[in-house]
Amino acid sequence: MALAIATCAFGFAGSAMPASRLASSAVSPTMALERKFWKSGATASSPSSGGKQDFLEATPYWDQSNVPVNTYKNKAPFIAKVVSVKRIVGPQATGETCDIVMDHGGKMPYWEGQSYGVIPPGINPKNGKPNSVRLYSIASTRYGDDMTGKTTTLCVRRATYWCPELKADDPAKKGVCSNYLCDSSPGDELKLTGPSGKVMLMPEKDPNVDLIMVATGTGIAPYRGFIRRLFVEKTPFGEVYNGLAWLFLGVANSDALLYDDDWQEIKKKFPNNFRVDYALSREQTNKAGGKMYIQDKVAEYADEIFSRMDKGAHMYFCGLKGMMPGITDMLQDVSKQKGLVWEDKLKEWKENGQWHVEVY
């Protein structure tokens, strides 16, 4: 995904996870590992020490003044190693999307909602210079998927170009960095820059805040970090969170859904705090009988969304920039129906820091 999407101290008890979070049926291997970790009360640096898991929290945990930004730059990138590369879409998906885990050894900390830059090897044939950095939203929490604080996950769709004359993908026009990442193997070294960005950070000071997350495709990445921090990991914000985390995801079909098993499991455990709605353009129809796009699905809940936003909710958008005109046009129409001036409403949300956009 081209453009989406750390170290302090906050102590909290390393007690067992509340029963409500452990009372599920099907549990993924990663979640099972994390729950064993929670119940032991261990730290990532010393799993058997029985200490507190507090090594990546701010003081207080919601303080964003020391969020790491541009720790590593283009001229002096960080060298990370690939841990795993896994295809995460079904056979009928429109394209290939991979979950890529990298080891940064705890030396490149980040916060949920930030991005890493990846510098692919090779020369740009257009200018004869080394390939430039590409930005990818981070799809894990600051603790990584294994709670060690030493890994980062990216969600990357392989960019290809179908040539109607060749009747095949044209290798000369494929996405340089996305293919490099999807073709990488465990042990491969990657040049990383960043972390970058503060636009997509979660507001953690209010445990009752509603988070409305809108994504197309791999724009799901930052929200995976959000949702894991809220409902999967034992974190200060997750321990007290009592708002609604509402995810909207637009993809072509069911096989293209990303991390759906995780969302369904979390939804079962936290029905009052997590909702997920999908827009499947090739399988669903909107109220006008046309294809169901992300703006159509959001429009179905426009009244509730406006109400929640007026009560302080935060709304996030991540994915292809082409989704935003449809979203804003829809919200403008809803505003008009409500007797509101959309430009004024949008200005209000922006000034209150409730409107977060990172598209590419």
Q: Which residues are annotated as a binding site for NADP(+)?
A: 137, 157, 218, 281-282, 291, 319-320, 358
Q: Is the pLDDT of residue 1 over 80?
A: no
Q: Is the pLDDT of residue 6 over 90?
A: no
Over residues 51-60, the mean pLDDT reads 76
Catalytic residue among 61, 136, 180, 316: 136
pLDDT score recorded for residue 49: 32
Residue with tokens 């990546």: 56
Catalytic residue among 137, 140, 184, 196: 137
**E strands of the chain, at which residues?**
78-87, 97-103, 115-119, 134-137, 151-157, 162-163, 168-169, 189-196, 211-216, 245-251, 274-280, 314-319, 355-359
Measured between alpha carbons, how far is residue 102 from residues 107, 116, 118, 186, 223 in Å?
12, 11, 11, 9, 19
Q: Is 351 a catalytic residue?
A: no
Q: Is the pLDDT of residue 256 over 70?
A: yes
Percent over 70 (pLDDT), the chain: 82
Over residues 338-357, the mean pLDDT reads 96
**pLDDT tens-digit readout, 154-181:** 999 998 775 666 666 666 667 889 999 9
Question: Helix (H, G, I), strand (E, B), or coil: what is residue 195?
Answer: strand
Catalytic residue among 196, 278, 318, 335: 318
pLDDT score recorded for residue 278: 97
Over residues 314-321, the mean pLDDT reads 95
Q: Which amino acid is at 153?
A: T
How far, in whole angstroms, is CA 77 from its chain's centroid?
A: 23
Over residues 58-86, the mean pLDDT reads 96
pLDDT score recorded for residue 169: 65
pLDDT score recorded for residue 34: 40
Residue 21 to residue 61: CA distance in whole angstroms: 21
pLDDT score recorded for residue 360: 87
Q: Which residues are annotated as a binding site?
A: 137, 157, 218, 281-282, 291, 319-320, 358
Q: Is 185 a catalytic residue?
A: no
Q: Is the pLDDT of residue 214 over 90?
A: yes
Over residues 102-109, the mean pLDDT reads 97
**pLDDT tens-digit readout, 174-204:** 788 999 999 999 999 999 999 999 999 999 9
Q: Is the pLDDT of residue 26 over 70?
A: no
Q: Is the pLDDT of residue 43 over 50?
A: no
Residue with tokens 């820091």: 353
Over residues 143-157, the mean pLDDT reads 95
Over residues 311-337, the mean pLDDT reads 94
Q: What is the dihedral of CA 139, 143, 149, 154, to 10 degrees?
A: -10
Q: Is the pLDDT of residue 7 over 60?
A: no
Question: How much is the mean pLDDT over the chain?
Answer: 85
Over residues 312-319, the mean pLDDT reads 97
